[in-house]
């Protein structure tokens, strides 16, 4: 499971003040109290929106504030209530109180909404305090203040596509080319120590989540390198894209490298070695001119028993054919193998 987080400050509106006012009308010499009540402050709601995939799709806000209620008016006029504030979040967002860490709600269904902060009550005008004993009260109450809190929003994402391969196989570069993600890229192994997510937009306006996963080495299923932490991430993807450096600088055999990672997937179990797989021959822009790639590509394809897509994330060569293959693979792949825990019932948001 890949986690996207954001902290949001929310503040409901203040209640409007009640007022002291007296009835003033022609031929009514003793009009009496007529101060109106203040309006209620607006609430802040978080709403599950299926059009949003990650928090990056949300409007870039750090403070969500509802309107204040207006003060009361003469002739017992009630002040206008403040407008509520609605903040759209992706479906599947879990909301926590940032101070206590207490889970507040899991917005698991489309259109589900949660009142995260209740608006302040409006104050009462002096007309509310008239009694048989005190027929001319001069008392009016101020509105109650709104409620402010910080919430931590957590989105558990299931990546559609996982990039696997040896360290320095070009996974981070490919992710940065296909999406707006900015993973760390350097010319040495293990630059990726935790998964990075990107959203790939297709020309037909479909999209999928792609994950750059930490590099796998021999013995990972026994805890070597980043070990089974890496393999747990692999387990939660629908399609695997296996990146192979066709001409590695360390002189190793690309076919042997491919088979080693396949062996690690099989040794880990849980049917990882049966997951839908595409094979990419990466760094096509760096292939040596004196070593024709056709033979190496053919040899890798025979070992993998599937087509191999030569690509260059730097120049973009081969990416169109690769993305078309990904779209077909996703259409045929089974649903994601994991879902967020949505067993807890939501709690209503706090406020005065």
Q: pLDDT for 308-341, tens place per residue? A: 999 998 898 999 999 999 989 988 888 655 444 4
Look at the domain 2-156 and name its fold.
Spo0b-associated Gtp-binding Protein; Chain: A, (2.70.210)
Q: What is the pLDDT of residue 173?
A: 84
DSSP 153: E
165 three-state secondary structure:
strand
| Domain ranges, ordered by start, for the chain | 2-156, 159-332
- Residue pair 167/215 in contact (Cβ under 8 Å)? The answer is yes
Return the number of other C-beta atoms located less than 10 Å from residue 80's C-beta: 18
Q: Which residues contact 308 (CB under 8 A, 6 or more apart)?
A: 244, 279, 280, 281, 297, 300, 301
- Residue pair 285/315 in contact (Cβ under 8 Å)? The answer is yes
Q: Where would I find the H helices in the chain?
A: 171-178, 227-235, 254-268, 293-304, 319-332
Q: What is the pLDDT of residue 214?
A: 62
Token duo for residue 204: 């037909």
Q: Which residue has the higher pLDDT, 265 or 144?
A: 144
For the residues 101-129, what does the mean pLDDT come to? Answer: 94
Q: What's the pLDDT band for 179 if we cut at 50, 70, 90?
A: confident
For the residues 186-209, what does the mean pLDDT come to? Answer: 61
Sheet bearing 113-117, strands edge to edge:
85-90, 44-49, 113-117
To the nearest 10 degrees (0 to 180), the angle between helices 227-235 and 254-268 is: 80
- Residue pair 41/148 in contact (Cβ under 8 Å)? The answer is no
Tokens 């490298």 -> residue: 257
Return the number of other C-beta atoms located less than 10 Å from residue 258's C-beta: 20
Q: What is the pLDDT of residue 234?
A: 67
Sheet bearing 63-65, strands edge to edge:
63-65, 2-11, 148-157, 93-97, 103-107
pLDDT of 31 over the 90 cut: no
Q: What's the pLDDT band for 83 if we cut at 50, 70, 90?
A: very high
Q: What's the pLDDT band for 344 if we cut at 50, 70, 90?
A: very low
Tokens 């026994």 -> residue: 222
Q: Indicate the average pLDDT of the chain.
A: 81
Token duo for residue 199: 């959203």
Q: What is the pLDDT of residue 74?
A: 92
Q: Which residue has the higher pLDDT, 174 or 25?
A: 174
Domain 159-332 CATH (choose: 3.40.190.170, 2.40.110.10, 3.40.50.300, 3.40.47.10): 3.40.50.300
Interior/surface letters 85-97, b for 16+ CB within 10 angstroms, e for the rest: bebbbbbbbbbbb
For the residues 266-281, what does the mean pLDDT come to? Answer: 82
């Amino acid at each position: 499971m890949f986690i996207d987080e954001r902290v949001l400050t929310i503040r409901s509106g203040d209640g409007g003040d009640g007022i002291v006012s007296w009835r003033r009308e022609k031929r009514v010499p003793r009009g009496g109290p007529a101060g109106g009540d203040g309006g209620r402050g607006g609430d802040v709601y978080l709403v599950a929106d299926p059009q949003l995939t990650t928090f990056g799709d949300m409007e870039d806000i750090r403070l969500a504030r509802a309107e204040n209620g207006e003060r009361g008016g003469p002739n017992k006029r009630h002040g206008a209530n403040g407008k509520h504030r609605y903040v759209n979040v992706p479906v599947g967002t879990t909301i926590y109180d940032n101070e206590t860490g207490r889970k507040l709600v899991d917005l698991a269904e489309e259109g589900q909404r949660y009142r995260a902060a209740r608006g302040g009550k409006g104050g009462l005008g002096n007309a509310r305090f008239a009694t048989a004993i005190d027929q001319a009260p001069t008392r009016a109450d101020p509105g109650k203040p709104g409620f402010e809190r910080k919430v931590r929003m957590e989105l558990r994402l299931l990546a559609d596509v996982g990039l696997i391969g040896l360290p320095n196989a070009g996974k981070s570069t490919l992710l940065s080319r296909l999406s707006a993600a900015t993973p760390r890229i350097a010319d040495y192994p293990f630059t990726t120590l935790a998964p990075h997510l990107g959203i790939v937009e297709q020309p037909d306006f479909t999209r999928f989540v792609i994950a750059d996963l930490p590099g796998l080495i021999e013995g990972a299923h026994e805890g070597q390198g980043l070990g089974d932490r890496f393999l747990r991430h692999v387990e939660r993807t629908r399609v695997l894209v296996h990146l192979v450096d066709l001409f590695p600088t360390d002189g190793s055999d690309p076919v042997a490298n491919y088979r080693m990672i396949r062996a690690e997937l099989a040794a880990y179990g849980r049917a990882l070695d049966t997951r839908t797989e595409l094979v990419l021959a990466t760094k096509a822009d760096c292939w040596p001119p004196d070593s024709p790639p056709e033979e190496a590509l053919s040899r890798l394809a025979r070992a993998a028993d599937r087509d191999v897509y030569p690509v260059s994330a730097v120049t973009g060569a081969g990416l169109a054919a690769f993305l078309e293959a990904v779209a077909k693979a996703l259409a045929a792949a089974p649903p994601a193998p994991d879902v967020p825990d949505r067993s807890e019932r939501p709690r209503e948001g706090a406020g005065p």
